[in-house]
């Protein structure tokens, strides 16, 4: 069975793009969340192998969500997804416990490479 991944992004289009990359490369989408609060709740519910996490979202941003998820599971594997020009946010995310980051607009190879590096 493929590794199970939780996709977190407030843009449904971005979730759809990531989902396409994942399923095409043999990963299973465990669930999707549109904000940090949903991400934390769904992480508890589905216990995924990995999370792709957007940084800028309503309710709770990605950095706060990483901190909350790491409280639940200190070994959580999380990859941050950010737009260009958010380097300071990426640094904060890594300090919060994210394992890697990919920059939007996504390139499929980079997303899959990051996932393989973190999961395998």
Predicted pLDDT at 23: 97
Answering whether pTM is above 0.85, one says yes
Domain parsing of the chain, residue ranges: 4-119
52/104 Cα distance (integer angstroms): 12
Cα dihedral sign, 85-76-30-65: negative
pLDDT at 84: 67
4-119 placed in CATH 3.30.70.270: no
Q: What was the pLDDT predicted at 120?
A: 77
- Mean pLDDT per block of 10 residues along the chain (120 residues) reads 91 96 97 98 98 94 96 96 78 93 89 93
């Amino acid at each position: 069975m493929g590794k199970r991944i939780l996709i977190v992004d407030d843009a449904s289009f971005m979730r759809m793009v990531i989902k396409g990359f994942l399923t095409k490369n043999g990963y299973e989408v465990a669930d999707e969340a549109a904000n940090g609060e949903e991400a934390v709740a769904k992480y508890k519910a589905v216990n995924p192998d990995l999370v792709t996490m957007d940084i800028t979202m309503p309710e709770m941003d990605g950095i706060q969500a990483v901190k909350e998820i790491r409280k639940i599971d200190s070994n959580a594997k999380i990859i941050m997804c950010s737009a260009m020009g958010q380097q300071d946010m990426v640094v904060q995310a890594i300090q919060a416990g994210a394992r890697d980051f990919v920059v939007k607009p996504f390139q499929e190879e980079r997303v899959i490479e990051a996932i393989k590096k973190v999961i395998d």
